[in-house]
Amino acid sequence: MDDRSPITTRTDFDAIVVGAGFAGMFMLHRLRQQGLKVRVFERGSGVGGTWFWNRYPGARCDTESMEYSYQFDDALQQEWNWPERYSAQPDILKYANHVADRYNLRADLQFNTKVLSASFDEARHLWTIATDDGKTATARYFIMATGTLSVANKPKFAGLDSFKGRVFYTSDWPHEGVDFTGRRVALIGTGSSGIQSTPHIAEQASRLTVFQRTPNFSVPARNRPLSDEERNVTKSRYGELRNFTYQQPFATNFHMNDVSALSVSPEERRRVYEERWNQHGGLHFMAAFNDLLFNSEANKTIAEFIVDKIHGIVKDPKKAEILAPKNGVVGCKRLCSDTGYFETFNRDNVDLVDVSQSPIEEVTETGIRVEGDEGIRDFGVDDIVFATGFDAMTGALLGVDIKGRGGQSLRDKWAAGPRTYLGLQTVGFPNLFMVTGPGSPSVLSNMMVSIDQHVNLISDTIRHLESAGIVEIEPQQSAEDAWVSHVNEVADLTVYPTCNSWYLGSNVPGKTRVFMPYIGFNTYVAKCQDVVAKGYEGFVLVPSERKEAATA
């Protein structure tokens, strides 16, 4: 918390930003550079967003460190030394804090403050924001930098409140850490968070029982320390590398092998997959061939390869059978990147329970009850770890009760799924901007690059509005409708809509199934540039009355 006086007056700020993760911090920096008075509200007690909350053992980024970092200041990227190829959560949080200090961001950050609601005043072209400290503040621009994976999906198992042991969520991990020594631990969920934490918890716990609903594809991350030489080589051509990633569909350098998986012999395919598995690792796997995400026959070849690997690693054939996805589509759910995940199931203290056919029935005082063909099975545990994911992309946006023009609620408008123009704005909510909102590349890109692009676009737009005397910006209905259709048309060209994933919101009970991210960062950037070049094509820009009168 900063030491400045609390907000006591209305209309205090030019811009109010929600969230002090990487998006909110950069947004603040950019707008302050433009001379705007900005306040950032953050519900946590520190900066870092997702990296502030997700402190579970093994938490690590799946984008390479030298790319998963800010690019707005060459001095910053030259002076910072990432220790590993893929950064661990503590290193990323250290970096976030360094940035906050280096640019004196804390002066305009208000921590421990949750934004509850926001409403638009049409007569005054202002947003009024209410926070959980009972105060309100107004601003001309309201910017949601709330992240895409920031609201936890917490399954409501019957009896959970009666459980006498400890309960943890990977997405809200205790800051002091957790000691599992001598404990019997249940872990529910086998997405990236479960897959990363499993090997670490298994090392400490007396027994770890993993409850798996859907088998997942995971490949070795091949993480390792970065040498000075490697860092220096990247730093010497950082500008060139950053430009290159801006032209890539996922805003990262995946080393795409620009050949169809179906155009080569089975032996050659195997050779390429082995090379990716042994050397590149991680998400680079999806670039082993150029059609893995577009052609289900091509995708089957990589699925078979990974399934073979799982059977080769996991010694107990029953466990291997449960772990290996059947008819799975690789990358449809985000591909996981692990260090020793499948190997962990060879430990004597690790069990695996398939809950795909017989879901977790309830949590009892002493453990987890599963009822299925084998009758009722009780698993006595001391601790339960939920690695059950997020209400992704819309959860945090709809977590604030946002009311736009005519008192329309964003929750109502998006009841059947999010509708935006460019993932940036939505009709009926003037001057509300979303950083990496639904309909933008966001989670299907290197988030740091998408944040860079969106923050620059929003701040440039605000600069334009200020200089042109525009008091409101909002998408045209036709532009929004066309964009929503386009996002879906592009998704339908790929394998993404063919499974249940958080990209579609289908991991959250009751959430409408709609594909949310836009696929193709490079085409998205070109589209945004074109929109701006054409005078903000697809947006309605309302001049101030004074200006209207002057030009009448």
Contact positions toward ligand N01, by CB under 6 A?
Answer: 60-62, 149, 155, 188-194, 196, 211, 213-214, 334, 337, 355, 360, 387-390, 443, 502, 507
Residue 24 or 194: the one with the smaller Cβ distance to ligand N01 is 194
Residue 88 or 256: the one with the smaller Cβ distance to ligand N01 is 88
**How far is Cα 513 from Cα 355, in angstroms, rounded to an integer?**
23
**How far is Cα 490 from Cα 116, in angstroms, rounded to an integer?**
35
**Rounded to whole angstroms, what are the CA distances from 406 to 187, 222, 409, 429, 472?**
46, 53, 9, 10, 15
The answer to whether 408 and 155 are in contact (CB under 8 A) is: no
- In the complex, least distance from residue 186 CB atom to ligand N01, rounded to whole angstroms: 11
- In the complex, least distance from residue 61 CB atom to ligand N01, rounded to whole angstroms: 5
Residue 155 or 543: the one with the smaller Cβ distance to ligand N01 is 155
**How far is Cα 499 from Cα 501, in angstroms, rounded to an integer?**
6
- In the complex, least distance from residue 86 CB atom to ligand N01, rounded to whole angstroms: 8
Closest among 170, 169, 172, 146 to 398, alpha carbons compared: 146
Would you report the helix, strand and coil content of the chain in percent, each value rounded to 5? 35, 20, 45
Closest among 448, 455, 425 to 437, alpha carbons compared: 425
- In the complex, least distance from residue 189 CB atom to ligand N01, rounded to whole angstroms: 3
- In the complex, least distance from residue 288 CB atom to ligand N01, rounded to whole angstroms: 19
- In the complex, least distance from residue 514 CB atom to ligand N01, rounded to whole angstroms: 16
Q: Which residues are bridge partners to 120 per DSSP?
A: 127
- In the complex, least distance from residue 196 CB atom to ligand N01, rounded to whole angstroms: 6
Residue 156 or 164: the one with the smaller Cβ distance to ligand N01 is 156
Q: What crossing angle do the helices spanning 447-468 and 238-246 adopt, rounded to 10°?
A: 80
The answer to whether 171 and 54 are in contact (CB under 8 A) is: yes
Question: Given CA atoms 177, 181, 185, 187 in this order, what sign does their dihedral have?
Answer: positive
Residue 51 or 141: the one with the smaller Cβ distance to ligand N01 is 51
Residue 470 or 508: the one with the smaller Cβ distance to ligand N01 is 508
Residue 160 or 264: the one with the smaller Cβ distance to ligand N01 is 160
Residue 188 or 205: the one with the smaller Cβ distance to ligand N01 is 188
Give the residue closest to ligand N01 by C-beta: 191
- In the complex, least distance from residue 84 CB atom to ligand N01, rounded to whole angstroms: 13
- In the complex, least distance from residue 517 CB atom to ligand N01, rounded to whole angstroms: 11
**How far is Cα 538 from Cα 536, in angstroms, rounded to an integer?**
6
Residue 113 or 146: the one with the smaller Cβ distance to ligand N01 is 146
Instruction: Compute φ and ψ for 235, nearest 5 degrees.
Output: -65, -35
Work out the burial of residue 546: count CB atoms within 10 Å of its CB; fewer than 13 is exposed, 13-18 middle, 19 or more buried.
Answer: exposed
**How far is Cα 449 from Cα 30, in angstroms, rounded to an integer?**
15
